[in-house]
Structure 1
Amino acid sequence: MDYVSRVPAPPLDRFVDDLYCLTGVPRHRRITVPPMPSAHLFLNLGEPFLLRDSDSSKPVVPVVDGLVAGVWTRRFLVEYPSAVRLVGAHFKPWGISPFAGVAARELRDRWVPADAVWPRSVDRIRDRLGELTSAAEMLRVVEDELRSTRGEGPPRGLDLVQHTGGRLAAAGGTIPVEALSGSAGVSVNHLAAQFKAHVGLTPKRVARIYRFAGLILSVDARGPVDWPGLAHTAGYFDQAHLSREFKDFTGHTPTEYLALRRRIPAEREFPPDRGPMPAE
């Protein structure tokens, strides 16, 4: 399966980490996605695929055309068809706020039809994508549409969330919330309220996700892994703390995760496989 991505040009890069195109025959039909610091746009141009919540009480969601999702605090599973044709965007945790017609808290841990967020826009995007075969052309279309969809000015409080969220990202989630609010000259409660408005989560929860993302992306399953050292670098109290977080986020212990990665290696040059993992 081919994965092509690129960072959009300014000012869209303030809100979107990357745009991507995924096409071809998947090596792994079922992929588990742990919580990562991203909101999502899925535009499906091929056969429907399925999204399964790790909360088994939630219904399975078929993706026929387009979906938008906020930041997820628990893992979910993607079940691909035999051939994939998908275009998407990984928004920064706060990045979907200027584009969405619904509150961020309504998108947390949820998949919402894209036309509920951008009325009439999804059909237009799909019409423009049409029969395009070039990944570069498809990404250009999505970038153009996102530029036209964004509001004229940032919603109130978004600049604060972007600034402090950017510091969290750069530090891998290791900055205490009190230090973030102090340096920004606002109270902890005010900062939390703005994060809830624009991300749907508190800054402490966002920091937790950034910390885990930094950890899992640093794991190289091809050799020995120094879990105590990684726990210290990522800002965990100790290895036991890391193990609890790992189990909560992936459904596996660190040892089980390594065994899975070594038994089913990630696809070469397929970046999503560094966080998401094959499901058995």
Structure 2
Amino acid sequence: MEYVGRVPAPPLDRFIDDIYCLTGVPDHRLMNVPPMPSAHLFLHLGGPVRLWDSDCSVPPAVFTDGWFMGVWTRRFLFEYPTYVRLVGVHFKPWGISPFVDMPAAELRNRWAPVDAVWQRSVDRIRNRVGDVASAAETLRVLEEELRSRLAEAPARGLDLVRHTGVRLETSHGTIPVGALADAAGVSGNHLANLFKAHVGVTPKRVARIYRFARLIVSVDALRPVDWSELAQAAGYFDHAHFSREFKDFTGHTPTEYLALRRRFPTERGGPQGLGPMPAD
């Protein structure tokens, strides 16, 4: 598939890592997605997309237009249609908050139809993009929509969450949450409540996901992998805990995951390049 993406212009870049278009025939239709430090908006201009939660008690979902999803703390699976035409927004963990009029916790580990959050937006974007718009034009339309949806004034506590979240991002989750609260001049409970409101999960959970993401990014499947060394570099100092969390987040042991990466090498650069793995 062809990936075209870019970082949006300020002030959107404070909340969004990238916006992108993904088009073409997928090499693999069913993908297994581990937790990543992000929230997302997907507008699907092609066929329907199917999603499954790794929690078997949650019913699967089918979206024909698009969906929002908040930060996920467990893996899920999605199935591409036979031909993909997808427009995506890769929000920072705290980034979805100023664009939706609902608590971020309501989108944690959940998919929600776009029109349930942004009423009548899908038809408007479809009408502006049409069937033949270039990727550049599609991204321009999407960026205009995002800019029109950005709240004029930050909600209470969002600036503190963003500042603290950036520190977690740059440290790959290794800064103790207590130190973050002390530096911000607030209690740990207050910081946790602000994160639940604007991210949907606690800063401790965000730190865990950043730590795991750093580990995944550091895996070079073309070379021998010393899992103990990578785990320690990412901040895991208990090998048993690392092994349990890795299996929880990916559905595989480290050895199984590495075998998949070697069997199905991925190109870095697109949102599908790291983390998601074929499940079919």
Structure 1 pair 228–268 and aligned structure 2 pair: CA distance change class (3 A): closer
Cα contact 1:227–1:239 (8 A) shared by 2? no
Q: Which residue of 1 aligns with 2:59?
A: 59
Matches within 5 A, 1:150-169: 150-169=150-169
Q: Which residue of 2 aligns with 1:254?
A: 254
Give 1:229 shift. 1.3
User: How well do the aligned residues superpose, as a CA RMSD in angstroms?
Assistant: 1.2
Give 1:132 shift. 3.5
| % same residue | 71
SS of 1:145's partner is: helix
In 2: Cα distance, 1:27 partner to 1:65 partner? 22
Q: Which residue of 2 aligns with 1:194?
A: 194
Letter in 2 for 1:276: P
Cα deviation per residue 1:34-84 (whole Å; 9 max; x = unaligned)? 000111101010011111111122111112002111101111111011110
Relative to structure 2, which stretch is displaced further, 266-275 or 141-150?
266-275
TM, length-normalised to structure 1: 0.97
Letter in 1 for 2:150: R
In 2: Cα distance, 1:169 partner to 1:136 partner? 28
TM, length-normalised to structure 2: 0.97
Give 1:117 shift. 1.1
Give 1:271 shift. 4.8
Are 2:138 and 1:145 aligned? no
Give 1:240 shift. 2.4
Cα contact 1:132–1:138 (8 A) shared by 2? no
Runs of 4+ in 1 over 3 A off after TM superposition: 267-271
Give 1:217 shift. 1.0
Cα contact 2:268–2:274 (8 A) shared by 1? no
Cα deviation per residue 1:59-116 (whole Å; 9 max; x = unaligned)? 1111200211110111111101111000010111111101112111110000011111
Q: Which residue of 2 aligns with 1:40?
A: 40
In 2: Cα distance, 1:270 partner to 1:16 partner? 15
Unpaired segments ≥5 residues, structure 1: none
In 1: Cα distance, 2:58 partner to 2:278 partner? 21
In 2: Cα distance, 1:185 partner to 1:22 partner? 43
Cα contact 1:34–1:76 (8 A) shared by 2? yes
Aligned residue pair count: 280
Q: Which residue of 1 aligns with 2:272?
A: 272
Cα contact 1:247–1:254 (8 A) shared by 2? yes
Unpaired segments ≥5 residues, structure 2: none
Q: Which residue of 2 aligns with 1:217?
A: 217
SS of 2:272's partner is: helix
Give 1:267 shift. 4.2
Cα contact 1:228–1:238 (8 A) shared by 2? no
Q: Which residue of 2 aligns with 1:128?
A: 128
Give 1:269 shift. 5.2
Relative to structure 2, which stretch is displaced further, 236-245 or 257-266?
236-245
In 1: Cα distance, 2:181 partner to 2:252 partner? 34
Letter in 2 for 1:114: V
Cα contact 1:33–1:275 (8 A) shared by 2? yes
Structure 1 pair 65–271 and aligned structure 2 pair: CA distance change class (3 A): closer
In 1: Cα distance, 2:79 partner to 2:231 partner? 31
Letter in 1 for 2:275: G
